[in-house]
């Protein structure tokens, strides 16, 4: 029988820093959960493309948007703004960037195991 676990992003299991952002990871119940903080000026294609070595982000995301506005453009050209309180499903094949001067904070329930990890 699984045991109860309580963890806090204030004491992450791992932190990955990257240009204009960071990712805190927690391992809970055998799953990786991530809290990403993207500073104004952050854009996946300029901050993480060289780390991922792909033309667009290939990580699937299920996000809860805590603060800030994240603009997401899919490889097919569709696009959306994600705002505080939104839940988003973002499949592989996208770029994203911070809109405005407020940092974006998201909690990701999928897709953070390899995110921002040097290959």
User: What would the pLDDT profile of 12-36 be if each residue is shown by its tens digit?
Assistant: 999 999 999 999 999 998 899 999 9
pTM over 0.85: yes
100 in any annotated domain:
no
CA Rg, the chain, in Å? Answer: 14
3 in any annotated domain:
no
23 in any annotated domain:
yes
Domain that holds residue 60: 14-35+43-67+82-90+106-119
**pLDDT at residue 114 tops 90:** no
pLDDT (0 to 100) of residue 61: 96
Residue 2 burial by Cβ neighbours in a 10 Å radius (0-12, 13-18, 19+): exposed
Residue range 65-72: mean pLDDT, rounded: 98
pLDDT (0 to 100) of residue 113: 84
Give the CA count within 13 Å in the CB-facing half-sphere of 6. 0
Q: How many CB atoms lie within 10 A of CB 1?
A: 2
53 in any annotated domain:
yes
98 in any annotated domain:
no
Least Cα distance to 45 among 34, 32, 30, 58 occurs for 58
57 in any annotated domain:
yes
110 in any annotated domain:
yes
Give the count of domains, the chain: 1
74 in any annotated domain:
no
pLDDT (0 to 100) of residue 111: 77
């Amino acid at each position: 029988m699984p045991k109860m676990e309580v963890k806090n992003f204030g004491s992450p299991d791992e932190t990955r820093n990257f240009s204009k952002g960071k990712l805190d990871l927690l391992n809970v119940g055998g799953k990786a959960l991530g809290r990403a903080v993207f500073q104004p000026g952050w854009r996946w294609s300029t901050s993480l493309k060289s780390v991922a070595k792909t033309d667009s982000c290939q990580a699937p995301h299920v996000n809860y948007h805590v603060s800030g506005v994240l603009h997401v453009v899919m490889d097919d050209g569709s696009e959306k703004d994600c705002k505080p309180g939104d839940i988003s499903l973002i499949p592989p094949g996208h770029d994203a960037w911070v809109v405005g001067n407020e940092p974006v904070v998201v909690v990701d329930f999928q897709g953070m195991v390899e995110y921002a990890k040097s290959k």
